[in-house]
Structure 1
Amino acid sequence: MSAHKGEQSLATVGLTKTFGGVAALDGATVSFRHGKVNALIGPNGSGKTTFFNCVTGMIRPDAGRTTYRGRDITARPPHRIARAGIGRSFQLCRVFPRMTVLDNLLVAVRPPNLPAQLAGARKREETERARYWLTRMGIDHLETAEARNLSWGQQKLLELAGVLMSEPELILLDEPAGGVNPALIDRICDLVRELNAEGRTFLIVEHNMDLVMSLSDHVVVFDRGRPIAEGPPSVIQSDERVLEAYLGV
């Protein structure tokens, strides 16, 4: 997987979304760098998750345009955006709680018809790939456990493994450290670094500022539905607009 780190990855122009007359995204024009670990931060209600939902096709923007590697993906359905090379996780883990850990990954690569998924999911190649990602996550010993019996942090790792089953080039992580114990946070950070070194681009929404500043190459700050600052962590930490948005100073 090639990674030309100077080029643009995901970008939006004038992205807008309102709910009940309130602008969750207010003409957001922003770009993220290919081959890098990007972060999107901002106070609660600043539009971060709405941004994720719009660019991944979960909701349709009212206006604006989204491109990925120069290709227009505006308002495409989620499955087409996924096929374009974009994968994402969610704040609340999306796993099948009564299915085994292994079957959760096999379902992730099957057609959208659930009976078809369950009937034909055990192809050798897919099973080997699923076990590979479980091993990378460090949860291969849990492959026969039901997902509901995993800890919250282990479910986050399982969800990430499910995202990786489709081999995305760009991975959007929505609060990967939320509710996770420190040891698993360290594991998630190590995985992001390893996967980035292998050529995958990341865009991370996260409230854990220590994680953001230690892990990211490029940080974008949202406030009231639009970017107010961007740059390397060293610059963002001392930006007066960022301090005002977070602290009101």
Structure 2
Amino acid sequence: MSLQTHQLTKSFGGVRAVDAATVTFQPGKVNALIGPNGSGKTTFFNCVTGMVKPDSGTTRYRGRDITRTPAHRIARAGIGRSFQLCRIFPRLTALENLLVAVRAPNLLGQLVPARQRTDLARARSLLERVGIEHLADAQARDLSYGQQKLLELAGVLMADPETIMLDEPAGGVNPALLERIGALVRELNAEGRTFIVVEHNMDLVMSLSDHVVVFDRGRPIATGTPDEVRADPAVLEAYLGV
């Protein structure tokens, strides 16, 4: 089932950051959400994932209304996300960051040796998958920004989400690590995970995406394949300034 919003709206003071946005993302695909700065993309992400409560409208996932569901329950329902600015624990090691990401909800669960061994093995496996296994014992604050982005993605994967929402994964990342992030998205998508990616790097968007949604002033103004969106006059005017 896809993730859908209907008339989703969020205002801050007199400014409508998200304005009656009705969007359907394609399951099993790499969806991109693009638009000018201030067009409401991150606020839209925050509404969908329960970080902020919308003023009106609905969000449905797998056919279920999750509009008023707390963020931690949305995560357990199968939606993982990263943030525009990395949310990591700088004084913990890379390995410890991943273990914290799947901390058991009660003390008893945290003390079960089998769970501890399983989580540790999964954490090491994911550090290897994103290419930073050699940094397992390094404090997160000592990693480069691109490596921190990879660490954050590994933390998202610890919960094994079906849908992954990435907020500007290319921001501040050098070309080599950017290529690694792109390859990971392709690999994970090939395994059946749905992606929704907010990104300003148009080369990355056009090379990765199957389906693109363009926001302007808090609402979608165009949807389609990368080629369709690239040629849309409304997009050229709002996003590219043509």
TM-score class, shorter: over 0.9
The whole-number CA distance in structure 2 between the counterparts of 1:52 and 1:128 is: 31
Per-residue Cα deviation, 1:201-246 (whole angstroms, up to 9, x for no partner): 0000000000000000000000000000000001111110000002
Report the CA distance between 1:166 and its aligned residue: 0.3
Q: What is the match of residue 102 of structure 1?
A: 95
Contact 2:104 2:110 in 1 (8 A): no
TM-score, normalisation: structure 1: 0.93
The whole-number CA distance in structure 1 between the counterparts of 2:128 and 2:196 is: 23
**Structure 1, unaligned runs of 5 or more:** 1-7
Contact 2:167 2:199 in 1 (8 A): yes
Give the superposed CA RMSD. Answer: 1.7
Q: Structure 1 residue 59 and structure 2 residue 52: aligned? A: yes
Q: Structure 1 residue 174 and structure 2 residue 173: aligned? A: no
Q: Report the secondary structure of 2:172's partner residue.
A: coil
Q: Where do residues 101-180 of structure 1 align in structure 2 (5 Å cutoff)? A: 101-111=94-104, 123-180=116-173
Q: Where do residues 180-191 of structure 1 align in structure 2 (5 Å cutoff)? A: 180-191=173-184
The whole-number CA distance in structure 1 between the counterparts of 2:49 and 2:193 is: 17
Q: Structure 1 residue 231 and structure 2 residue 221: aligned? A: no
Q: Structure 1 residue 200 and structure 2 residue 196: aligned? A: no
Per-residue Cα deviation, 1:12-59 (whole angstroms, up to 9, x for no partner): 000000001110011000110000000000001100000000000000
Q: Report the secondary structure of 1:204's partner residue.
A: strand
The whole-number CA distance in structure 2 between the counterparts of 1:62 and 1:15 is: 8
TM-score, normalisation: structure 2: 0.96
Report the CA distance between 1:116 and its aligned residue: 8.7
Q: What is the match of residue 4 of structure 1?
A: none
The whole-number CA distance in structure 2 between the counterparts of 1:207 and 1:61 is: 24
Q: Report the secondary structure of 2:239's partner residue.
A: helix
**Structure 2, unaligned runs of 5 or more:** none
For residue 29 of structure 2, the aligned residue among 22, 33, 36 is: 36
May I ask how many residue pairs the two structures share in their alignment?
Answer: 241
Per-residue Cα deviation, 1:129-179 (whole angstroms, up to 9, x for no partner): 001100000000100000000000000000000000000000000000000
Q: Report the secondary structure of 1:135's partner residue.
A: helix
Contact 1:229 1:242 in 2 (8 A): yes
